[in-house]
A = this chain, B = another copy of it.
Amino acid sequence: MGTATAPAPAPATRKPATMAQALRQAMRDALAEDRDVHVMGEDVGTLGGVFRVTDGLAAEFGPERVTDTPLAEAGILGTAVGMAMYGLRPVVEMQFDAFAYPAMEQLISHVSRMRNRTRGALPMPITIRVPYGGGIGGVEHHSDSSEAYYLHTPGLHVVTPATVADAYGLLRAAIASDDPVVFLEPKRLYWGKADWSADAPETVPPLGRAVVRRAGTSATLITYGPSVPVCLEAAEAARQEGWDLEVVDLRSLMPFDDETVCASVRRTGRAIVVHESAGFCGTGAEIAARVSERCFHHLEAPVLRVAGFDIPYPPPMLERHHLPGVDRVLDAVARLQWEGN
């Protein structure tokens, strides 16, 4: 995938860090190591971003490396394309998921196609950071999950971390990639803490590797980003019902790790895909379709999907009814055609 793994870990003491901190550290290390890396977007400089993910970077690297742009998403991504044509590695921030839509034209028509158009002469090593997803009480346009649009666009990689360590490792790999990576940051995991060391970040596999977060035998929950903690919680809860659920965290949606996913489903014989975005033509559709095809003779039950409803993202006071939660996951598990059902 043309990606680098993070630098080899040196022994260091871990202490609690948030995902936001790990992301910041990843950008800081990339900025320090490679003068071609540039961070740009709305409010990423002086303010440090509305989520403070880029806090301190402008002070450390100056406004030419960490740049507050005019307020225009197509312009941000379009100028990043030109910068990449000249050999820079822009790391672009879209302030919120829904505010990336004005940049769709640049993304689809140029970012994803420039390498192919020019037979490799103009690769697009651009990382597009997009805080995404709901569950933070955001008003309209602040809680979208738009990964399916990106996944349906050949030429893009799509990556989303669910842990503090992955946030660091995947963002380093994304920035190091010679291809454009849409890097989706689950907003509601920004402030979750884990023991982690900035001095000795774990190495991570190249983009495109899923990981089994919890081994199990009854069924596989296939998920990513903000739904990973939900699935882990559901798996814990399911033990009481006698189900031992395996949880696969995809981490990278494109490339998609067929191997890990199918190996798990063939083992368990049952699968549920869980994600927040609308179900229709969503990530879960692709996963259910390919798992159903590839694991057909291993399946004891149809692959089910637990996804957001096919409605515009709801107002904050109603969002909990929309978001796939533990109960909805468990309901789906119960529908997996168990003996005696």
Please state if B154 and A278 are interface contacts (CB–CB under 8 Å): yes
Which residues of chain B have C-beta atoms less than 8 A from A289's C-beta?
Answer: 284-286, 288-289, 292, 303, 305
A99 to chain B, nearest CB (A): 9
- Chain B nearest CB from A273 CB (Å) reads 9
Q: Which residues of B contact A148 (CB under 8 A)?
A: 148, 152, 281
Tell me which residues across on chain B come within 8 A of A294, comparing CB atoms: 302
Q: Which residues of B sit under 8 angstroms from A98, Cβ to Cβ?
A: 108-109
**Complex: how many Å from CA A289 to CA B272?**
12
> Chain A 298-315, CB within 8 Å of chain B: the 1/0 string?
000111110001111000
Residues A140 and B154 in contact, CB atoms below 8 Å apart: no
How far does the alpha carbon of A59 sit from the alpha carbon of B303 in the complex, in Å?
55
Q: Is A266 an interface residue (CB 8 A)?
A: no
Please give the distance in Å from A293's CB to the nearest CB on chain B. 4
User: Is A112 part of the binding interface, using a Cβ–Cβ cutoff of 8 Å?
Assistant: yes
Give complex CA distance A256, B141 in Å.
26
> A116-B311, A280-B151, A310-B154 in contact; A292/B286 too (CB < 8 A)?
no
Shortest distance in angstroms between A84's beta carbon and chain B's nearest beta carbon?
17
Which residues in B have their C-beta under 8 angstroms from that of A282? 152, 281, 286
- Which residue of the partner chain, among B104, B112, B278, contacts A312 with CB atoms under 8 Å? B112
Known: A281-B282, A293-B303, A305-B289. A105 touches B116 (CB 8 A): no
- How many Å lie between the Cα of A290 and that of B89 in the bound state? 40
CB pair A296 B285 closer than 8 Å? no
**In the complex, chain B residues whose CB is within 8 Å of the CB of A288:** 285, 288-289, 292-293
Contacts of A116 in B (CB 8 A): 311-312
Q: How far does the alpha carbon of A229 sit from the alpha carbon of B122 in the complex, in Å? A: 38
Q: Once the chains are docked, how many angstroms separate the CA of A32 from the CA of B157?
A: 49
> In the complex, what residues of B have CB within 8 A of residue A296's CB?
301-302
Q: Does A24 contact B (CB under 8 A)?
A: no
Q: Is A131 an interface residue (CB 8 A)?
A: no
CB distance from A258 to the nearest CB of B (A): 12
Q: Which of A88-105 contact B (CB under 8 A)?
A: 98, 101-102, 104-105
Residue A14 interfacial (CB < 8 Å): no
Residue of B at shortest CB range from A116?
B312
Contact A281 B312 (CB under 8 A): no
A101 touches B105 (CB 8 A): yes
User: Is A283 located at the chain interface by the 8 A CB criterion?
Assistant: yes
Is A149 part of the binding interface, using a Cβ–Cβ cutoff of 8 Å? Answer: yes
| Chain B residue at minimum C-beta to C-beta distance from A290 | B285
Q: Are A109 and B105 in contact (CB under 8 A)?
A: no
Given contacts A281-B281, A292-B302, 4 further A-B contacts (CB under 8 A): A102-B104, A149-B149, A152-B281, A281-B282
8 tightest A-B contacts by CB? A288-B289, A104-B104, A296-B302, A292-B292, A101-B105, A285-B285, A293-B302, A152-B281
